[in-house]
């Protein structure tokens, strides 16, 4: 704003106006005012747009690893070969939970979509995504690390559901994260034996980390503790302590 005022003063012989482009429709303005728009764009990109990038089509699998994520142990095998040989379509490391105020209407949008398309909740959904009363339990695959078979996003049911979420605009309105969106997709549209959780990799992401039980000697998360006053959380067995007793923690086959 100061730059605009200064420019107007310096160029006073030419009428100047400044227009603000609204990339997000006003009907999608978020109910959460504490988050920067860049975060919503990031969730939108990872949940809905990334797999549409033309370069992605050149690969059978791709691996997401955030810039503030670290592999703390040696991996002595090819993860992509492991996925391919075992006919796996999605691999991840950690299980977490999301806050209910960031999930407003997501479960309702999901179940309404199933009803509209005459689909029943999958066994994975019933076993790992709902509680005893068939209510959404808000447990999520922590997807800042995942390996995925590229063509799953082209499956009609998955592609249509993502398009529906895009039209609803819940990422911008309610701050739906890409993690709960991916978790619902994986749970509904993939078979249980097409998903794997890697338990043999030491992994660190921001304040959370996990070390495999078999090779703890070479897993040293303290090397990645950047801030003295920060609280860091050990996800024992790869699960947030609040979700370790929930089915999603050990629901999918594990690579030990």
What does 41-92 look like in DSSP terms, one character per residue?
HHHHIIIIIGGGSGGGGG-SEEEEE-TTEEE-S---S-HHHHHHHTT--EEE
Q: What is the pLDDT of residues 174-199, one digit of tens each?
A: 999 999 999 999 999 999 999 999 99
Whether residue 172 contacts residue 28, with contact meaning beta carbons closer than 8 Å, is answered with: yes
Rounded Cα distance, 142 and 95, in Å: 5
**What structural domains does the chain harbor?**
2-255 (3.90.550.10)
- Confidence check: pLDDT of 2 > 70: no
Please give the distance of CA 230 from its chain centroid, rounded to a whole number.
23
Rounded Cα distance, 17 and 221, in Å: 52
233 vs 9, higher pLDDT: 233
Q: Average pLDDT for residues 42-49, to the nearest whole number?
A: 93
Whether residue 152 contacts residue 90, with contact meaning beta carbons closer than 8 Å, is answered with: yes
Q: What is the pTM of this model?
A: 0.85
């Amino acid at each position: 704003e100061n730059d605009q005022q200064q420019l107007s003063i310096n160029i006073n012989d030419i009428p100047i106006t400044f227009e603000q482009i609204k990339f997000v429709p006003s009907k999608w303005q978020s109910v959460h005012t504490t988050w920067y728009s860049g975060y919503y764009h990031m969730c939108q990109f990872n949940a809905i747009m990334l797999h549409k990038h033309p370069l992605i089509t050149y690969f059978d699998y791709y691996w997401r690893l955030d810039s503030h994520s670290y592999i703390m142990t040696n991996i002595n095998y090819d993860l992509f070969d492991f996925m391919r040989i075992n006919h796996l379509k999605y691999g991840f490391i950690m299980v977490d939970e999301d806050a209910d105020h960031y999930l407003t209407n997501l479960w309702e949008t999901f179940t309404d979509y199933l009803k509209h398309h005459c689909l029943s909740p999958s066994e994975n959904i019933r076993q790992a995504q709902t509680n005893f009363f068939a209510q959404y339990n808000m447990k999520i695959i922590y997807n800042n690390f995942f390996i995925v078979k590229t063509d799953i996003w082209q499956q009609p049911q998955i592609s249509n559901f993502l398009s529906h979420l895009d039209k609803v605009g819940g990422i911008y309105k309610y701050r739906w994260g890409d993690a709960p969106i991916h978790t619902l997709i994986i749970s509904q549209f993939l078979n249980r034996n097409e998903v794997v959780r890697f338990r043999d990799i030491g992994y660190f992401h921001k304040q959370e980390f996990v070390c495999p039980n078999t090779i703890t000697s070479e897993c040293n998360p303290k090397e990645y503790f950047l801030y003295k006053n920060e609280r860091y959380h050990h996800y024992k067995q790869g699960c947030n302590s609040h979700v370790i007793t929930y089915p999603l923690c050990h629901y999918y086959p594990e690579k030990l």
